[in-house]
Amino acid sequence: MASSQQIRYLLPIFPLLSLAIAITYEQVIQKELTPKWQILNKIFLTLVMIIFLVNLAIIGYYFNSFKYGQLFIGQISASDYLRNKFDYYVVYEYMNQKTPPESKLFLVDISNQSYYLEREYFGDSVFEDYTLTKIVRSSKTPVEIKEKIHAMGITHLVYRRSILLGAKTIPFNKAEADLFIKFLLEQGEVIILNDKIALFSIKS
């Protein structure tokens, strides 16, 4: 699994490898070709060079657009880079720096990207709001929601607002949505709230 995740970092090698193969082919094989095939061979090598240059340009474009250069030479800090790249990173920063080690984060519609999180967490792997929806749907009061979340060891809840409460993606009906909002207001304490992410601590 680790090798499949890291193989993408070898991709920049392939254009250079192709060029090396083409040069070797040119030096070894071309001497034995007829004039007609030598012309076709030159066309082939030209296409290889064009592909190589296009790949090089694409790599340069993404290197620049992702600001890797600024990061490598120290123009921006790693924390600033991660905050700009991942909207949930501010949540992980808070959890890592300002919560007890035994804290546990409930990830909802955050894509379960927990690499930078140094706390225990729970998140559904496919339908990422399934467990939360099940809890809300089976509860009648905000306190009941809190008790079920506490039973999982959860101390904090984070969700992506545009998905969990979005008009086209919300998993709740109106009554369930009202109950969930009431739960947040009565049994949660807002820590981070911006246009993308909401982080709440759950009252004890």
Look at the pTM and tell me if it is higher than 0.75.
Answer: no
CATH of the domain at 172: 3.40.50
Other beta carbons within 10 Å of 59: 13
Rounded Cα gap, residues 159 and 133, in angstroms: 12
Rounded Cα gap, residues 113 and 87, in angstroms: 11
Q: The tokens of 145 are what?
A: 């929601």
Report yes or no on 135 lying in a domain: yes
Q: How many CA atoms lie within 13 A of 186 on its CB side?
A: 13
* Per-residue model confidence (pLDDT) at position 5: 44
Final residue of a structural domain among 65, 97, 112: 65
Question: Domain check: are 111 and 47 in the same one?
Answer: no
Q: pLDDT tens, 92-130?
A: 999 999 999 999 999 999 888 888 899 999 999 888 999
Supply the range of the domain harboring residue 11.
2-65
Q: pLDDT tens, 156-182?
A: 999 999 999 999 999 999 999 999 999
Total count of domains within the chain: 2
Rounded Cα gap, residues 78 and 92, in angstroms: 14
Long-range contacts of 76-84 (CB under 8 A, 24+ apart): 82/116
Question: Domain check: are 20 and 116 in the same one?
Answer: no
* Per-residue model confidence (pLDDT) at position 7: 47
Question: Domain check: are 96 and 134 in the same one?
Answer: yes
Report yes or no on 73 lying in a domain: no
List % helix, strand, coil for the chain (3-state, nearest 5). Answer: 60, 15, 30
Cross-strand partners of 156: 105, 201
Q: Are 109 and 163 within 8 A, CB to CB? A: yes
Question: Domain check: are 54 and 93 in the same one?
Answer: no
Q: The tokens of 8 are what?
A: 């993408």
Report yes or no on 46 lying in a domain: yes
Q: The tokens of 167 are what?
A: 């008009």
Question: Domain check: are 7 and 52 in the same one?
Answer: yes
Q: Give the confidence band of 71 by pLDDT, cuts at 50, 70, 90.
A: low
